[in-house]
Amino acid sequence: MKQKWALLAFIFTMITVLIGCEPLLVLDPKGPQAETLSNTIWISIFTMAVVVIVVLTLLINMLVKYRASKQPDDYEPPHIEASPIVESIIIGIPVLIVAFLSVVSVVSTYQVEDVPEGYEDQEPLVIYASSSNWKWHFSYPEQDIETVNYVFLPTDRPVEFRLYSHGPITSFWIPQLAGQKYAMADMITKINLVADSPGEYMGRNSNFSGEGFAKHVFNVTALSPDEFDTWVDEIHATAEPITEEKFDELLEPGHLGQLTFTGTHLEFAPAPEGEHGGHNHGSDDSHSEDNEDTSEHTNH
């Protein structure tokens, strides 16, 4: 048995060392949402570590004390009926732990779904992020620009990503800024996040979407608001406008580098929200009015 505990100790040390020398992405947050998540994860790790330690201690105790080699040959283990007190303890304590974590879960879930605290008064920057096989298209309706496979964000301003997909279900994930959310073809999902320090972050699709999935990634760059505005102006000065034809070309399956356009594809290929949402997506206009009333519940 000793070998196993040695092994477990080894693995535990390894984990600590690895965490020590280079912070893991998820536990190295660069914005309030990711920080909430990181804190939640640490709380649950510590709580759960207590459970594991208790179980391990009890187990080792039982194994050491009651192994056959330590007992006299004629020892007959007694018949023991469950004691109500012991039973209520082993029910009660897990109930308390689960109750505690439930509170943590509910509070943090509401927190990360909302605009981060302290940023509610600012108007969020809306960016539509849509996936196609195997690219990400970022449309900035406010700035009237569109990028492919990279996204620039102003720091200290809430950003609202509106996600949808031109193909299979994908999952939009920037581990250091916020948790992931699915992008689907027939509805919009939203991520609210804030980047509080400038830098470059990894973003990717984390939901398996076919052959090109492994390289379905994008770069996130957080800039100060001034630099962000400069970047937008530069694009308006240099980039080509996106056309329907060009956009259809971009949608073809494959990988592309980073591209920049003025205008957004939302003008000729609207996102599945409002009248274009839910089951109306893909149907012609004459029918979409009839079903106005039902599109709401599909956008929950």
Q: Which of residues 260-279 bind other proteins (CB under 8 A)?
A: 278-279
State yes or no: cis peptide before 5, omega within 30 of 0: no
Q: Which part of the chain contacts other proteins (CB under 8 A), choosing from 34-42, 135-143, 228-236, 241-249?
A: 34-42
Min dist CB 274 to other proteins, Å, is 16
Which of 118, 120, 142, 208 binds other proteins (CB under 8 A)? It is: 208
Min dist CB 207 to other proteins, Å, is 5
Residues 100-109: contacts with CB within 8 Å, 24+ apart? 100/47, 101/43, 101/44, 101/47, 104/40, 104/43, 104/44, 105/40, 108/36, 108/37, 108/39, 108/40
Min dist CB 230 to other proteins, Å, is 28
Ramachandran sector of residue 260 (left: φ over 0; alpha: ψ -120 to 50; beta: rest) = beta
Q: Does 115 bind other proteins (CB under 8 A)?
A: no
Is the CB of 169 or the CB of 239 nearer to other proteins? 169
Q: Does 147 bind other proteins (CB under 8 A)?
A: no
Is the CB of 4 or the CB of 237 nearer to other proteins? 4
Residues 4-33 that bind other proteins (CB under 8 A): 4, 7-8, 11, 15, 18-19, 22, 24-27
Q: Does 221 bind other proteins (CB under 8 A)?
A: no
- The bridge status of strand 240-241 relative to strand 170-174 is unpaired
Residues 61-90 that bind other proteins (CB under 8 A): 62-63, 66-68, 71, 75-80, 82, 86-87, 90
* Alpha-carbon distance values, 58 to 54, 93, 96, 140, 230 (Å): 6, 15, 19, 57, 62
Which of 198, 163, 162, 206 minimizes the C-alpha distance to 177?
198
